[in-house]
């Protein structure tokens, strides 16, 4: 009996009953093991450690001043090490809930940060129900309870009456998480590429895997299949956020394409399974090509130079506008919500010197652009290169810093210029242009985001220059 309680089945399976005592014992033991593993990884990468309190509160883990900035590889290592513990904790919590006579779905609260502590505490206190007091709606799980609840000794059975549909749903949600994080690690942290394999092929494959696993033991409704695939997509994003691999804003921008392609992949696998009796192994083996595709994409893609130009009319002649283009005073705080969420925005500009060779610094919320002047045609045209630039955003995250590689080196400003065109009546058409490259693919999806943000950044500067030039604040 003890071996049955504490064996491998109790850890990794979805059938063995999990009573209150083993749940608490295994929970404390595995928490200690995970603390030792994670602390070892942190020490191996940084030579430092964190405190048990900082470890227990996730939002404080990487905020410890003692750790400082940590290598990107540490985030990946922590994520990979957490996956088996995530599955064990979820599986045991679901079966503990069923053993306590409440809906097993309460055990899925183990996946929700902060809420999971409440769920664990409740499941550690609830006693075992001698007879199954809960049964799932038949339309949801198509579940038939065992004929006689109870073992040969009159006690509770050794297997928990966990609905097969729920087991399949949990597997269908978690299997794509492992796939998604693996491809993210290979593509981004291994090959340094944000490409179509990551943003197109991977969500499609995740949806297909979710659908295939969920329907492996019998076909289920398409609506339920799509729901499980959507849940797996959200769960993957949550895991990426909690492991500090990406920030909230970038995940939000990627969600529409990821959710849509995941749904298409889930539908495709459901259609194949319903018409041919399941997804064959040789079809599932195609997933092994994803890392190879990422490798090929990293070697064959190169960003193209693009331009974004924004125009405004100023009720002042070019001679009055020019000084406010060369350098300008403090801008007011941005009202736009996306700037307040962390997108880099201009704050002020100053210049050292005059003419070609002078160095202009345009200071953003994340740092300064260093812009040596290449064309000084007063008061008609000012052009410059960009030799140094700050991160494109300060990602929102429960952690102090997010070391997402795309923050630096993937959207790169190569240079820019201002053109001042005289108009009748002493007015000026002021044009601001940025020359940039975008190394995040598919460009057709990401470029509209990039150009929208550049237009908004241009607009803030041009409106400020207009106000300064039209009022007594101007030079």
Write out pLDDT tens, residues 35-44: 888 888 878 8
In-domain check, residue 209: yes
Backbone angles phi, psi at 323, to 5 degrees: -60, -30
Higher-confidence residue: 397 or 267?
267
Q: Total structural domains in the chain? A: 2
In-domain check, residue 153: no
Using alpha carbons only, give the angle 252, 405, 254 rounded to the nearest 5 degrees.
Answer: 20
102 and 246 in one domain?
yes
Residues 390, 344 contacting (CB under 8 angstroms):
yes
In-domain check, residue 371: yes
183 and 55 in one domain?
yes
Would you tell me how many other CB atoms lie within 10 Å of the CB of residue 77? 20
Indicate the residue among 264, 297, 330 that finishes a domain: 297
In-domain check, residue 78: yes
In-domain check, residue 462: yes
End-to-end, the C-alpha distance of the chain in Å comes to 86
329 and 266 in one domain?
no
367 and 221 in one domain?
no
In-domain check, residue 332: yes
230 and 312 in one domain?
no
| Of the candidate ranges 162-176, 373-387, 432-446, the one whose mean pLDDT is the lowest | 162-176
Structure tokens at 434: 């940025």
Residues 204, 265 contacting (CB under 8 angstroms):
yes
Q: Is pLDDT above 70 for 97?
A: yes
286 and 313 in one domain?
no
Over range 51-66, report the average pLDDT: 51
Backbone angles phi, psi at 58, to 5 degrees: -55, -40
127 and 80 in one domain?
yes
Q: Is pLDDT above 80 for 291?
A: no
| Of the candidate ranges 95-99, 274-278, 437-441, the one whose mean pLDDT is the lowest | 274-278
pLDDT confidence of residue 149: 41
- Average of per-residue pLDDT values in the chain: 78
411 and 283 in one domain?
no
Among 93-102, 292-301, 353-362, the range of highest mean pLDDT: 353-362
In-domain check, residue 154: no
Write out pLDDT tens, residues 157-185: 555 555 667 778 888 888 888 888 888 88
206 and 100 in one domain?
yes
pLDDT confidence of residue 139: 35
Among 17-21, 235-239, 318-322, 442-446, the range of highest mean pLDDT: 318-322
pLDDT confidence of residue 417: 96
Residues 210, 230 contacting (CB under 8 angstroms):
no
Indicate the residue among 276, 297, 318 that finishes a domain: 297
pLDDT category at 315 given cuts 50, 70, 90 is very high
pLDDT category at 51 given cuts 50, 70, 90 is low
SS3 215: coil
Provide the pairing of β-strand 381-385 with 411-423: antiparallel
pLDDT category at 112 given cuts 50, 70, 90 is low
Structure tokens at 175: 């299997």
313 and 233 in one domain?
no
Residues 34, 88 contacting (CB under 8 angstroms):
no
Indicate the residue among 280, 297, 314 that finishes a domain: 297
Structure tokens at 262: 């995941």
361 and 266 in one domain?
no
Distance separating alpha carbons of residues 441 and 302, to the nearest angstrom: 10
Write out pLDDT tens, residues 200-234: 888 988 998 898 888 887 888 888 899 999 988 98
Q: Is pLDDT above 80 for 63?
A: no
Q: What is the pTM of this model?
A: 0.62
Write out pLDDT tens, residues 324-352: 999 988 888 887 777 777 788 899 999 99
460 and 397 in one domain?
yes
CATH no. for residue 314?
3.30.530.20
In-domain check, residue 281: yes
pLDDT confidence of residue 55: 58
Structural domain harbouring 188: 2-137+162-297
For tokens 């908004």, the residue is 456
pLDDT confidence of residue 338: 72
């Amino acid at each position: 009996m003890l071996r049955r309680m504490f064996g491998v089945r109790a850890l990794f399976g979805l059938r063995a009953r999990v009573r209150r005592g083993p749940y608490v014992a295994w929970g404390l033991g595995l928490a200690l093991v995970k603390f030792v593993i994670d602390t070892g990884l942190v020490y191996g990468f940084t030579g430092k450690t964190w405190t048990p309190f900082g470890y227990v509160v996730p939002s404080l883990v990487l905020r410890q001043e003692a750790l400082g900035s940590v290598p990107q590889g540490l985030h990946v290592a922590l994520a990979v090490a957490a996956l088996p513990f995530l599955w064990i904790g979820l599986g045991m919590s679901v079966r503990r809930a069923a053993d306590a006579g409440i809906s097993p779905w309460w055990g899925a609260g183990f996946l929700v940060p902060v809420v999971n502590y409440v769920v664990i505490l409740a499941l550690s206190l609830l006693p075992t129900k001698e007879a199954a007091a809960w049964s799932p709606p038949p339309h949801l799980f198509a579940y038939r309870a065992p004929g006689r609840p109870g073992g040969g000794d009159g006690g509770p059975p050794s297997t928990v009456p966990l609905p097969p549909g729920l087991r399949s749903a949990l597997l269908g949600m978690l299997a794509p998480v492992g796939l998604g994080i693996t491809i993210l690690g290979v593509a981004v942290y291994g090959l340094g590429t944000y490409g179509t394999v990551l943003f197109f092929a991977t969500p499609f494959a995740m949806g297909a895997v979710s659908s295939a696993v969920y329907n492996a033991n019998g076909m289920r409704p398409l609506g339920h299949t799509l729901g499980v695939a959507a849940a797996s997509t959200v769960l993957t994003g949550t895991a990426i956020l909690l492991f500090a691999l990406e920030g909230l804003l970038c995940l939000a921008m990627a969600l529409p394409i990821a959710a849509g392609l995941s749904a298409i992949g889930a539908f495709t696998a459901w259609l194949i399974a319903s018409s041919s009796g399941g997804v064959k192994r040789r079809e599932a083996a195609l997933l092994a090509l994803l890392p190879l595709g990422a490798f090929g994409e990293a070697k064959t893609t190169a960003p193209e130079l693009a331009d974004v130009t924004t125009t405004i009319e100023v009720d002042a002649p070019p001679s009055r506008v020019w000084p406010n283009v060369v350098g300008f005073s403090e801008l007011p705080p941005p009202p736009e919500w996306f700037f307040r969420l962390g997108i880099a925005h201009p704050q002020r500009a100053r210049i050292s010197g005059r003419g070609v060779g002078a160095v202009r610094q345009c200071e953003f919320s994340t740092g300064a652009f260093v812009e040596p002047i290449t064309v000084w045609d007063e008061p008609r045209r000012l052009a410059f290169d960009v030799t140094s630039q700050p991160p494109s955003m300060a990602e929102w995250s429960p952690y102090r810093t997010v070391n997402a590689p795309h923050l630096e080196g993937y959207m790169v400003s190569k240079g820019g210029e201002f053109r001042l065109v005289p108009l009748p009546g002493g007015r000026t058409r002021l044009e601001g242009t940025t020359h940039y490259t975008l190394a995040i693919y598919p460009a057709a999806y990401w470029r509209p985001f990039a150009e929208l943000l550049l237009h908004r950044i241009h607009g803030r500067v041009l409106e400020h220059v207009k106000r300064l030039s039209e009022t007594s604040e101007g030079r």
